[in-house]
Each structure stands twice: as structure tokens, then as C-alpha cells.
Amino acid sequence: MKLWDKDVAHDEAASAFAAAGDAKLDERLLPYDCVASIAHAKGLNVAGIIDDDELSMLTDALVELREMALKGTFSLSPDDEDCHSAIERFLVERLGDTGRKIHTCRSRNDQVLCALRLCYIDELHHIVDSVLDLIGALQDVADSQGDVSFAGHTHTRKAMPTTVCDWAQGYIGVLTDSVITIEGVLRLIRSNPLGTGAGYGLPIHTDRRLVAEELGLPSIDVNGIYSQLSRAKHEKLMLSGLSSVMYDLNRLASDLILFSHPDLGYFVIDTSMTTGSSIMPQKTNPDVLEVIRGYYSVILGNEMQVATVTHNLISGYHRDVQLTKGLVFSSLDIVSSSLAMMGRVVSTLAVSESACKASLSEEIFLTEKAYELVRQGVPFRTAYQRVANDYFSRKRE
């Protein structure tokens, strides 16, 4: 059942094309749409549009539908364009005219915005928790093996001494920045858009703040045009936060790949987190880290697609924004799985004290040697040149 069906012929192929696979994606969104619909029904009850018995029937049916969706025992039918159509079909089949009242005082535009925001809130909280778990794993490395010194690198060349603690704390710092970025996005999306309709208000008003409270949202969208303009913009901001996380994981993966290379061997990746070769028996490949490293490019590409698919649109809803849904869901899944895998790699990571000690060759202490001369009153540039000339003259011998 299409919510916009009327006594006008329409081309089924055109309808299917416009839906663009939305029904399959919406199975993920359905439980959140049920939660939003329960809150919406309470708003209709307070507004006098449905009575207490109807509210009870709608709530019970929506709770049942949500449980079925979570268990995977309810699927959208081929005639359902989206989860919104599926919900109304289910309610009408169960409750008749009472089910036909659920779409009073809302449009699919504010309905999907609300369901998406509830979904994003859950997903982003999970991402934040996973980042914090990874931070905890890095802190464990810093606490247990942090005193071990090894050669820090610039330009992929030895530079100056560092410690495992400083290395781990560096990544803890940037991951914390990413958490702050995502928390900023969460503050934006924790607002109720229900009641703004298609962006231009509704002839009958409901208590939107009551609905927001039912949903656990601290505020409401006060402007319907804003609500529609936020679609895709919030997704872009969210993907920027996810890109930030994956950027950190990309850098961390690159470090672990290089620093666990047999020629360096500062870190040892547990063999359970590696793969092998079909021809070379000795290989233990860091495939997990390589995939994480590569996924940053995928997420960045998704961010750019979301940013570009909706540019040049005027205010108000456009079907173009539907194309962002799959990109966002895919990105959330990639970041979630990447964080889980990186956490397992870091929690099983070992530090080779002997390899780290072997990396502390003479040249990485030359900066300290120059500063010893500075402490004796030698100008820094003179000290720098004196130490450099001495080092390179001995290398030429």
C-alpha cells in the first residue's frame, strides 16, 4: 500500500525506480519508526484526535510490530515503498479505521526525519562507546609497557626517541577529539522534527514538546523548513565525524603495520589477528589493519557523495536525499566493525623491548647532543651545525 495512492494510474516501474531500494534499507529503520509512531499517537490523543482506547490499541500494535521487526519476523512487502507505508498497512489490517488515523498531523517527511534521528542517536552512541573501548585498550598498552623507549619517526625515517606511553597517548588524544566531534553531531540531531509536516506546518497542531519528551529528545525543531534543510546536512556532519574516527584508525593501522614489520619489530601483532599466504608458508599478513586503512577512503568517499548528491537543491524535500540513506548505514557498519577489529588488535598487541632498544641508534640522540652544547652557552644554530658536521664526517669515513 502506497500512502499516496489515489484514483490515478501510475507506472509501477517508475514507482519502483523512485523508491530506489528504500524498502530494504527501511527494515533497519522500522523499529525506530514504531517508537516515533507511539509517541506521535500520544500526541494525537492529547490533541483529541484519537481517544484513550484507540491510543491503547495503536500502542499495543506498534509495540508488537517493533518486536517482530527486531526479531526479523516482519518484512516489508513488495507493495510497501518504505517502512512508513508498512506501518500504516499493518495498523489498518489490525485496527481498521483506527489505523487510518495514525498519519494525522504528520507527513512522511517529518516521519522519516524522526526515525532517522532516533536511529542515528543509537548508532552514534554505539560508535562513541567503541571509540572509548579502543582508548581503554591503548591506555592498557601505555600502563603496561609505556616505559619502553623506541625510535620515533618523521618522514618514515628515524627521528628522536619516544616511548610506548607517548605513542599510545597521542592516539588517545586524537580519538578523544573524534568523540567530541561526534558528540557535537549528537547535540544537533537530538531534536524532535515531528509535527513540522512536509516543512510548512499542519492545519491541526499537536503538543510537540510532549512528543519530544516521550522520545527522550530535549528540544523540538521550531521551523519546518529548517527540518527539511537538515536532511542530508546532518548526515554530512555525521559522516564527517565518522571520517574523523576512520582517519585516526587509518593512521593507527599504518603505524602498526610499519612498526610490526620484521625489519623493525617494535610491536608484535598477535598471529590470531593475521592471515597467511596460499604460496608462502612463512607469511603472517596484517590484512585486518590493511582493510581498516583502506576503509578510511571508503568513508571519505561516502561523505563526499552525501555532500554532493544534495547540493544545488532549493529548500523543501527532494527525493534526492533518499540516496544518502544507504551511504550512511553502510558507513556506520564499516566504522563499527573497524573499531571492533582495531580494539582486538590493540588488546592483543605485544611490545618487543629488544627491538625497541635496538632502534635507539646514535643518530636519534643528536638533537639532545646539540642541546647539551646549548646548555653550555653555544648558540643553537652553531651547536646544530657542529653536531651535524661531526656526525656526517664520521659517516663518510
End position of a domain, from candidates 100, 131, 154: 100
CA distance from start to end of the chain? 86
Identify the burial level of 9 via C-beta atoms within 10 angstroms of its C-beta, where 0-12 means exposed, 13-18 middle and 19 or more buried: exposed
Place of cell 484514483: 7
Q: Does 55 reside within a domain?
A: yes
- My answer on whether 70 and 195 are in the same domain is no
| Structural domain count, the chain | 3
Which pLDDT belongs to residue 3?
Answer: 58
Q: Does 3 reside within a domain?
A: no
- My answer on whether 169 and 129 are in the same domain is yes
CA distances from 394 to 18, 51, 383, 385 (A): 73, 92, 17, 14
Range 335-340 average pLDDT: 98
CA distances from 389 to 158, 326, 362, 386 (A): 18, 59, 14, 5
- My answer on whether 49 and 113 are in the same domain is no
CATH classification of the domain holding 51: 1.10.275.10
Is 331 within 8 Å of 122 (Cβ atoms)? no
- My answer on whether 243 and 303 are in the same domain is yes
Give bridge partners of residue 149 from the DSSP assignment: 163
Confidence of residue 4 (pLDDT cuts 50, 70, 90): very low
Q: Does 208 reside within a domain?
A: no
Coil, strand or helix: which one is 374? helix
Q: Does 6 reside within a domain?
A: no
Report the mean per-residue pLDDT for the chain.
94
Q: Does 270 reside within a domain?
A: yes
Q: DSSP characters for 21-72?
A: THHHHHHHHHHHHHHHHHHHHHHHHHTTSS-HHHHHHHHHHHHHHHHHHHHT
Q: Does 211 reside within a domain?
A: no
- Regarding beta strands 191-192 and 219-220, do their DSSP bridges make them parallel or antiparallel, or are they unpaired? parallel
- My answer on whether 141 and 68 are in the same domain is no
- My answer on whether 268 and 127 are in the same domain is yes
- Check whether 151 has a pLDDT greater than 90: yes
- My answer on whether 193 and 321 are in the same domain is yes
- My answer on whether 81 and 26 are in the same domain is yes
Range 10-25 average pLDDT: 65
Strand runs labelled E in 322-365: 350-351
End position of a domain, from candidates 100, 124, 156: 100
- Residue 59, domain extent: 12-100
Range 21-33 average pLDDT: 88
Which pLDDT belongs to residue 21?
Answer: 63
- My answer on whether 173 and 50 are in the same domain is no
- My answer on whether 268 and 379 are in the same domain is no
Catalytic residues: 155, 277
Percent residues over pLDDT 70 in the chain: 95
**pLDDT one-digit tens code per residue, 241-299:** 999 999 999 999 999 999 999 999 999 999 999 999 999 999 999 999 999 999 999 99
| C-alpha–C-alpha distance, residues 211 and 216, integer Å | 9
**pLDDT one-digit tens code per residue, 358-379:** 999 999 999 999 999 999 999 9
**pTM of full prediction above 0.85:** yes
- My answer on whether 267 and 377 are in the same domain is no
- My answer on whether 232 and 319 are in the same domain is yes
Coil, strand or helix: which one is 150? strand
Confidence of residue 6 (pLDDT cuts 50, 70, 90): low
CATH classification of the domain holding 265: 1.20.200.10
- Check whether 2 has a pLDDT greater than 60: no
Q: Does 238 reside within a domain?
A: yes
| C-alpha–C-alpha distance, residues 339 and 345, integer Å | 10
| C-alpha–C-alpha distance, residues 152 and 139, integer Å | 19
CB count within 10 Å of CB 179 equals: 18
Strand runs labelled E in the chain: 149-154, 157-163, 191-192, 219-220, 267-268, 350-351
| C-alpha–C-alpha distance, residues 137 and 124, integer Å | 20
- Check whether 1 has a pLDDT greater than 60: no
Which pLDDT belongs to residue 80?
Answer: 85
Which pLDDT belongs to residue 320?
Answer: 93
**pLDDT one-digit tens code per residue, 178-190:** 999 999 999 999 9
Q: Does 293 reside within a domain?
A: yes
**pLDDT one-digit tens code per residue, 300-331:** 999 999 999 988 999 999 999 999 999 999 99
